[in-house]
Amino acid sequence: MSDNDGKKTLGVRGGPRSGNVKQSFSHGRTKNVVVETKRKRVVKPGQGAAGGAPGGGGKSARSSDPSKRPAGISDSEMERRMKALQAAKARENEEAEQRESEERKREEERQRRREEVEAKEREQREAEERAKAKAEEEARKKREAEEREAAKQRGAEAAAAPPAEPQQPARPQPARKQDKDRDQQRQQPRGKGKGEDGRRSGKLTLNQALSGGEGGRQKSMAAMKRKQERARQKAMGGQQEREKIIRDVQLPETIVVSELANRMAERVGDVVKALMTNGMMVTQNQSIDADTAELIIEEFGHRVVRVSDADVEDVIDQIEDKPEDMEARPPVITIMGHVDHGKTSLLDAIRNAKVVAGEAGGITQHIGAYQVKTDGGTILTFLDTPGHAAFTSMRARGAHVTDIVVLVVAADDAVMPQTIEAINHAKAAEVPMIIAINKVDKPEANPDKVRTDLLQHEVIVEAMSGDVQDVEVSAQTGQGLDDLLESIALQSEILELEANPNRAAEGAVIEAQLDVGRGPVATVLVQKGTLRQGDIFVVGEQYGKVRALINDHGERVNEAGPSVPVEVLGLNGTPEAGDVLNVVGTEAQAREIAEYRKEKAKEKRAAAGAGTSLEQLLAKAKEDENLKEMPIVVKADVQGSAEAIVQAMEKIGNEEVRVRVLHSGVGAITESDIGLAEASGAPVFGFNVRANAPARNSANQKGVEIRYYSVIYDLVDDVKAAASGLLGAEIREKFIGYAEIREVFKVSGVGKVAGCLVTEGIARRSAGVRLLRDDVVVHEGTLKTLKRFKDEVSEVQSGQECGMAFENYEDIRQGDVIEIFEREEHTRTLD
Ligand code: GDP
């Protein structure tokens, strides 16, 4: 019996095989194995990550996992990670071996001591058992003597029990005695390790559980086991706990390291360490992608719950405002109308009239919006950026800012194309309109013409017994301004505009810029809640903490409620007009959302532009270092031209120089093309295509050269010359203007005539023209006519309207752009 016991004890401590010893008893004792496994783990974490073979195996299994699901990971990235993992594994194995040998020595030492103690204990136990057996024997004899009749039966039972099942009744008793002994005698220093105590008691308890089998006892065993388990966890530190509490970790596309640690309830330091072992050198404030985070989460033994796009933004409070929380808010007004009908003048007139009267000093600050108070006491918020572009771009970005549109129509000009456009915008946005018939001071003013003109566009003003308010004003004399403001106030009353000021703020960016002294500054129109100094927010792809709020008088304020425009300082970057600002709980959340949005935007751009990443291009360029390369980016109108150009480019070059087409594609030159070109110092070639406006600006800023061609041979010749350093002077085109086709008329005898607005530069009768549709050249030729009003003119300036007709070309459409160019001598700059 004692031999058996000793053997098992040895087995348990010696290694995992001890499980087999116990299994050999009977089926139900497979529990033993579980306990052995735990014990195995207990040893390892105590010594750090000395995983040895099993740990390493686990990692390699994990490392192969992501390769099966390479969502979002590029090959090179994967390879890099795999390498890092392998290196880490190798390192770990080495360390593990070292630790293992140390551990083995220590374990041997411990084992020796344990054996000594156990030998002593065994002796005692045996002595006690002997004494007990003796006592029992005596008692039995006594009983036998006292009750002769029952004695036979009992005697048989008592006699049969011990030899038939020697372990069962005997073992629990010595076990308890052993504990008692330990407590009473304290013969062995406890400092040997509580873990060892725990372990030993664990084993004994288990035996008891196995041998006992009675319900009551089992229960107390379980309790003891739990207690011991807790004690062991405590002694072993955090690692054991990690294996115990498996968490579901919500994982967005990207996550800040500290937030990841937070979600796993692990120490940040441990997470950073784990990342380093995986070859990622990051600090706790940096963010990592979901795939890397997944490795880490699995390594810590938690479960990954990938959250979808919308979930990341879930932290933004989606509060349903209760009706009782709502309070009246000022209306927000946008002024729209045709160019030169007096939008700016009207905005200025209102502002000056009201601000000077109401404010001490009357110093105004242009922040993109301002508030005025009507004589009736209503506060109105005017957006200071007139025009349709601002209105539509805001709408396109999901910021529904405007409550009321004031449509300015000059009484001397009546309804014009942009007036109609404005009507359509307002209708599409379902925003009520108020018609301001402007310039009534002018002698030629004819307000009634305006009213009747509007009828044609289904705008029936009150004067024509409709329901659209109309007010005659003069921005110049100030006539009718108060009436206009009262009309707006009335309209806003009808709208019953309300917002809950007591909640996390939400607002829209009216304008934003990078200020030299103050950093990124955004004017935000608060729409819900109240924005306060110190609030943490996310705005578009940016985030920040409100450092200061400045109102439209240039004064610092502590807070801004609904419909109040304020300049917000404390952004990490410059957002765009129309971006929505949301106050969130923590900076980590704000950053997570912002970075997620940035990533999404990047993906979108990449999808729209090239299929190749910059990294891949750079990696390829590095492959052959000896060869000097001239990188170029090519955009063409059709696939066929693009292919022809790429083929021609590949033929250019000799041993020293080679032309490398970084990217070729079909369609307008975009910002992403410019970014690519800038990063590799490449020029961009447009073949019958043009750069869109953002790309043009970006190219100007970054100094990227864009060259346009309409003949492939010209393009090839230029590149050839550049590659061999032979660029001389050339005849080059210079764009002198752009005009947008607003309307197309059919004029008998002339054909189709384009009603245009010169948007940039100048339109010249003698110049060459190209017709661009979606930034692609659809026609090149000369002008047949250039008309301003009814007269043929030689030039039309930017901002003016004109009529144009092409020589021998009729396929013109509204929205097309006319490019006006001249040829001039130019020094070649291609490098
Ligand atoms: P916007 O292009 O719609 O912003 O128009 P502006 O505000 O720039 O005005 C265009 C021109 O019309 C300017 O020369 C103004 O001085 C003039 N203007 C604007 N409002 C009035 C007005 O009420 N009366 C007169 N006589 N001229 C006006």
pLDDT tens-digit profile of 499-528?
999 999 999 998 888 887 888 999 999 999
Hey, whose CA ends up nearest to atom 20 of ligand 1? 342
**60 or 304, greater pLDDT:** 304
- How, if at all, do strands 327-328 and 657-666 pair? unpaired
| CATH 3.40.50.10050 placement within the chain | 618-724
What's the CA gap between 581 and 572, in Å, rounded? 13
CB 705 within 8 A of CB 683: yes
Q: What percent of the chain has pLDDT over 90?
A: 23
Q: What is the mean pLDDT of residues 160-188?
A: 43
Least confident window among 64-78, 99-113, 698-712: 64-78
Is residue 719 helix, strand or coil? helix
| CATH 2.40.30.10 placement within the chain | 506-606, 730-826
* Cα distances (Å, whole numbers) of residue 505 to 42, 400, 580, 608, 681: 51, 15, 11, 34, 44
Domain 730-826 has CATH 3.30.70.20: no
Band of pLDDT at residue 323, cut at 50, 70 and 90? confident
Domain 326-499 has CATH 3.20.20.80: no
> For residues 528, 532, 534 and 537, what is the CA-based torsion angle, rounded to 10 degrees?
20
pLDDT in tens, 723-742: 665 444 344 567 888 999 99
In ligand 1, the atom with minimum distance to the C-alpha of 475 is 23
Instruction: Supply the pLDDT for residue 110.
Output: 76
pLDDT in tens, 347-369: 999 988 876 444 444 456 788 89
Is residue 754 helix, strand or coil? strand
What's the CA gap between 769 and 206, in Å, rounded? 94
Is residue 631 helix, strand or coil? strand
Instruction: Supply the pLDDT for residue 757.
Output: 94
Closest residue by Cα to residue 405 from 342, 335, 474, 349: 335
In ligand 1, the atom with minimum distance to the C-alpha of 348 is 7
In ligand 1, the atom with minimum distance to the C-alpha of 438 is 23
| 789 Cα: distance to centroid of ligand 1 (angstroms) | 19
| 408 Cα: distance to centroid of ligand 1 (angstroms) | 10
Ligand 1 surroundings by CB, under 6 angstroms: 337, 339-345, 386, 438-439, 441-442, 474-476
In ligand 1, the atom with minimum distance to the C-alpha of 442 is 26
What's the CA gap between 357 and 481, in Å, rounded? 14
What's the CA gap between 249 and 246, in Å, rounded? 9
In ligand 1, the atom with minimum distance to the C-alpha of 345 is 7
506-606 CATH pick, 2.40.30.10, 2.40.50.100, 3.30.390.30, 2.30.30.60: 2.40.30.10
Hey, whose CA ends up nearest to atom 9 of ligand 1? 342
| 292 Cα: distance to centroid of ligand 1 (angstroms) | 60
Q: What percent of the chain has pLDDT over 70?
A: 68
Instruction: Supply the pLDDT for residue 505.
Output: 93
Hey, whose CA ends up nearest to atom 2 of ligand 1? 340
Measured over the CA atoms of residue 71, residue 76, residue 78 and residue 80, the dihedral's sign is negative
| 449 Cα: distance to centroid of ligand 1 (angstroms) | 18
What is the best residue among 345, 438, 440, 472 to mutate for testing ligand 1's pocket, by most ligand atoms within 8 Å of CB? 345
Instruction: Supply the pLDDT for residue 148.
Output: 62
Fold classified for 618-724:
Rossmann fold (3.40.50)
CB 369 within 8 A of CB 386: no
Q: What is the mean pLDDT of residues 187-213?
A: 42
| 475 Cα: distance to centroid of ligand 1 (angstroms) | 7
In ligand 1, the atom with minimum distance to the C-alpha of 338 is 3
**341 or 386, greater pLDDT:** 341
Hey, whose CA ends up nearest to atom 25 of ligand 1? 439
| CATH 3.40.50.300 placement within the chain | 326-499
Whether the per-residue pLDDT at 173 is higher than 70: the answer is no
Residues in the chain: 831
| 410 Cα: distance to centroid of ligand 1 (angstroms) | 8
What's the CA gap between 128 and 120, in Å, rounded? 12
pTM, full prediction: 0.46
